[in-house]
Amino acid sequence: MFELLHVYLLGALALYLLGVYTLASARNMIRLVMGIEILVAAANLNFLALGAFLHDPSVIGPIDPMVQDFVILSICVGGAVAAIAMSLIANAYRHYGTLDVRELRRLRG
């Protein structure tokens, strides 16, 4: 079980590094939202892996249901936030004609 935890934590670390790289290098607003969603996926994976590792399987099951509830809630809230962000991005593109963050900051004036 301990070796399997390392696999999940390394996968979450890879997702976390990918999300941070995406946020650091992206100038496009859609890529920024994708980077944030990758970071949320890494946090959810960490939460599930540690919840499965720290939970006693003889009590309820392999993973604590409370951890699963929090992750499902996080996925739902993340999807709603991404949908709202995409609608704001579409509105900004219609109004300004660009998705470049640096260009939009310059237009703020």
Q: What is the pLDDT of residue 82?
A: 95
Judge whether residue 109 has pLDDT over 70. Answer: no
pLDDT in tens, 32-76: 999 999 999 999 999 998 888 887 666 666 777 888 999 999 999
Q: What is the pLDDT of residue 103?
A: 86
Judge whether residue 20 has pLDDT over 90. Answer: yes
Q: Which of 22, 108, 90 is nearest to 99 (CA)?
A: 90
Q: Residues 91, 96, 98, 99: is their CA dihedral positive or negative? A: negative
Q: Which of 36, 48, 37 is nearest to 11 (CA)?
A: 48
Fold designation for 2-108:
Helix Hairpins (1.10.287)
Average pLDDT, the chain: 89
Q: Give domain limits for the chain.
A: 2-108
Give the position of tokens 């900051």: 105
Q: What pTM was estimated for this model as a whole?
A: 0.85
